[in-house]
Amino acid sequence: MEHIDADILILGSGGAGLFAAHHAADQNPNLKIIVAAKGLIGKCGCTRMVQGGYNVVLHPDDSMEKHFFDTIKGGGGINDQEMAWTLVNDAPKRIRELETKMGVFFDRNEDGTVHQKPFAGQSFDRTVHKGDLTGIEIISRMRDQLFAKPNVITWDEVRAIDLLVDEDSQKVAGCLMLNIRSGEFIVVHCKAVIVGTGGAATMYKIATPSLEKSGDGMAMCYRAGTDFIDMEMMQFHPTGLLAENSRLNGGVLEEGLRGAGGYLINALGERFMKNYDPEKLERSTRDRVSRAAYMEIMAGRGTPLGGVYIDVSHLGKENVRRMFPGMVERCRDVGKDLSVEPVEISPAAHFHMGGVKVTTNCESNISGLFVSGEDAGGVHGANRLGGNGVCDSTVFGARAGDAAAAYVNNLNSPGKVSEAELNNFINLTLEPFNREEGENPFYIRNALKNLMWEKVGLVRNKRDLEEALLELDTLEKRTNNVSVKGSTKYNLTWQEFLNVRNLITIAKMVTKSALLREESRGSHYREDFPESNDENWLNNVFARKGPDGEPLFWTEKVKQSRMDISKIQGHKIVATVK
């Protein structure tokens, strides 16, 4: 077991992790910074998979107030308003930094200004992009620029196991890591940790994220004792590609297809959004479009693969191929030509609005532990607008890097690693190797995905949620009885055990939060409470680990620090559409 000292450890190499590394290194070039990725730096994670773009106020006819209003309205009014205001105000700075310091090339208009396209839920066309593969451009440039910083060390295929906290001072003291290739543990002793590993949408049968995401960061933060907010709020992207048993199943077809005028059609050939949002139709918010598609499927109007169709062929073959080359290529991989025919899609688990409760500088309730990107909650409320995701990761990644550097520079006495805690984590991690016979984690993962899809998915009710909690307890017991054979080196069964352990931790918080919130709001839809209830539920749901290891919950009224939510029209779910 190797012991390594560092000033700042960054977990994750998506937009949040890389921006945090850049900002921390620029704040103090003498800091030793480690960036660790479960996959390959700059090649894994979900920011790289971003297609549509980045919401930012650049046009003189747009304004921060408009972007803020859209974000709060889209979030069902339960956003942390200070975080949302920070998001929209910092976004232009991050776009300028991406262009001038990182070398990102966004698409331009003929007059040289940055091109901005329409996205659902926006009152202004403010989505900056690079074709329909924006994330690859952003991450590739940020990764390349990182190698120019000698004080930043990058680790490929090294996953975090558990955070190490000094119990006496309640400061983060380091992290237990695992080199996936060698199978050896690494103990990083550091003054600050920035968590940006991404969410846990892969707990669902149809999901969009990169395959290595399994809620690791949130699960570690939970075990360490952080507070969480609105964990019931899981966004389902309305247009996940259906490809049956292929690994491409659930891959996103970007929101710009709807923004450009694409139609959503059921198996009867009907544009069904007219029955759910007659004003905005296909350009409604993700939560409403996803729920509408799900209801069409459940009503028996689904396609042969159990989805609906997206059709952009009326925009013209050449236009579609010019505007959406990446999406045309993705559909071609499953034998479909998006430019001339409808393509089967389904709602797919996509993004976690809930997460660790943090300040606008990404500080958790544990000193020295900073959380940004999808691991942090609050900014998006009950539903994230398309285009606000990569905006979130860069804005708050930058803030986490700045805040962590300042914290380290002012730290007098670092936290100390507890040998007893460290040994306990190692023993728990290696436990499956001690069993001759036991459960297969891949079977447990499949059971979890089906359970969450069927009982904690787009449409929820008390009976299903209570049954899901009982089944999750059973799956947790099965996980504690997993058996792993062979070496620790690149052992995929062992890695899946670690993945499933974390996913079940998050799934239990999601399910219990969903059971507690007896209303419908944003991405959370209760068919037994089908309307938003501002009188009783204009609240955030908080959670933290209790003494028995199970989550404790409480609610607090939303702080309306910048906007009176009663003045917003259209933020509530007001009726069930049959």
Concatenating the DSSP letter of every residue in 249-315 gives TTPBPPTHHHHTT-EEE-TTS-BGGGGT-TTTGGGS-HHHHHHHHHHHIIIII--TTSSEEEE-GGG
352 is catalytic: no
**In angstroms, what CA-CA distances link 184 with 1, 430, 433, 477?**
6, 11, 14, 26
DSSP state of 168: T
For the chain, how many residues are written?
A: 578
* Helix or strand holding residue 50 (H, E): none
Bridge-based pairing of strands 127-128 and 54-55 is: antiparallel
| CA–CA dist 311, 338 (Å, integer) | 7
Task: Quickly list DSSP for 431-463.
Answer: GGGG-SS-B-HHHHHHHHHHHHHHHSSSSB-HH
Q: What is the DSSP string of 388-416?
A: SHHHHHHHHHHHHHHHHHHHHHT-SS---
The two structure tokens encoding residue 483? 């058996």
Q: Which helix (H) or strand (E) holds 525?
A: none
| Burial class of residue 81, CB neighbours in 10 A (0-12, 13-18, 19+) | buried
Q: How far apart are the C-alpha atoms of 546 and 531, rounded to whole Å?
A: 31
Q: Which of 556, 473, 502 is nearest to 222 (CA)?
A: 502
Chain centroid offset of residue 436 CA = 37
Catalytic residue among 23, 126, 237, 380: 237
Bridge partners of 349? 207, 236
Amino acid at 434: N
C-alpha span between 387 and 142 (Å, rounded): 19
Residue 207: Cβ within 10 Å count:
25
Q: Where do we find the tokens 């009503």?
A: 299
DSSP H or E segment with residue 502? helix 492-516
The active-site residue out of 258, 380, 384, 501 is 258
Q: How far is CA 69 from CA 55, 58, 236, 266, in A?
A: 13, 16, 22, 32
Q: Which two tokens stand for residue 16?
A: 């949040």
Catalytic site includes residue 435: no
Q: Which of 384, 405, 368, 343 is nearest to 24 (CA)?
A: 405
Do 175 and 190 meet the contact criterion of CB atoms below 8 Å apart?
yes
Torsion angle of C-alpha atoms 196, 200, 202, 208, degrees rounded to 10: -60
Distance CA 288, CA 3 (A): 49
What are the residue numbers of the active site?
Answer: 237, 258
